[in-house]
Amino acid sequence: MSALGPFDFTAGTAVVTGAASGIGAALAPALAARGSDLVLLDRDTGRLDAVAASVRAAHPGRRVTTVLADLADAAQVQRAADTLVAEHPGTTLLVNNAGIALTGRFDQVTLAEFDEVLAVNFSAVVRLTHALLPTLKAHPGAHLVTVSSLFGLMAPAGQAAYASSKFAVRGFTEALRHELAGDGVGVTSVHPGGIRTRIAESARVAAAVPAEEAERGKRDFARLLRYPPDRAAERILTAVERRRPRLLIGASAVVPDVLVRLAPGSYGRVLAAGAALLARRGR
């Protein structure tokens, strides 16, 4: 437990990005059940409205606001940040959850594709956090969450863009944890393993990747996504309440973390063998 004491979910508003599906959509009702008002941000209007309507119906006493923004667009990120600062001064929890995936070796990925991943997964996190940090610091006991990834712990072949973005999130979060230690703001870095979300379905594939290879990669990726998003959301909120600095979700994150620590220079061979076994089973 941190010296800050338990986080009080009833004390303010929680902002969640990537709230239209997956972990973000699961966090929304879980936060409302704990007494938080909500600001839900995503670019998918239909899914976001459905999540918001469901939370309002189940928790009529909670204020639920939606913000539409494509986090790949810096201008939209800035507008969203300005809105959050101006209209939600009671924000005490920011969960940077939104993210996109991109599959393809570095020599198959265009710089535009690479930059889009960095924009959504890292630059938007930086911009929104920078904008809302004064608000969080104005409420001692506030908390910041960034969702990194298993690929913020290891970097397998074919994930140069995604791993770069998630390692960057990890480093950014760790630095902020140290900087904010005396400011009354808790910080948690989350590293989910194979969570059952739409990330495989919606993952970008580099334009140079052959169609058959791309389809096979998506199928293999989807088979790894088994951990329920509602359980992941509960674990994240427990970590927030207890002020845990770091959270690994699922054996698919915990085991690779140990592997990387034991064999930091050679874990790639183990991953390659595992990928080959998965491919044979998928035939």
Report, as residue numbers or ranges, the catalytic residues.
Answer: 162
What are the E-state strand segments in the chain? 13-17, 37-42, 64-68, 91-96, 102-103, 142-147, 185-192, 204-205, 246-249
Are 63 and 36 in contact by the 8 Å Cβ rule? The answer is: no
Question: What is residue 268's three-state secondary structure?
Answer: helix
Query: 48 is written with which tokens?
Result: 């976001």
Distance CA(211)–CA(199), nearest Å, equals: 18
CB-count burial class (<10 Å; 0-12, 13-18, 19+) for 161: buried
CB-count burial class (<10 Å; 0-12, 13-18, 19+) for 44: middle
In this structure, the chain runs to a length of 283
Sign of CA dihedral 98, 103, 106, 111: negative
Q: Phi and psi of 260, rounded to 5°?
A: -65, -40
Are 87 and 67 in contact by the 8 Å Cβ rule? The answer is: no
Distance CA(274)–CA(41), nearest Å, equals: 36
Distance CA(90)–CA(9), nearest Å, equals: 12
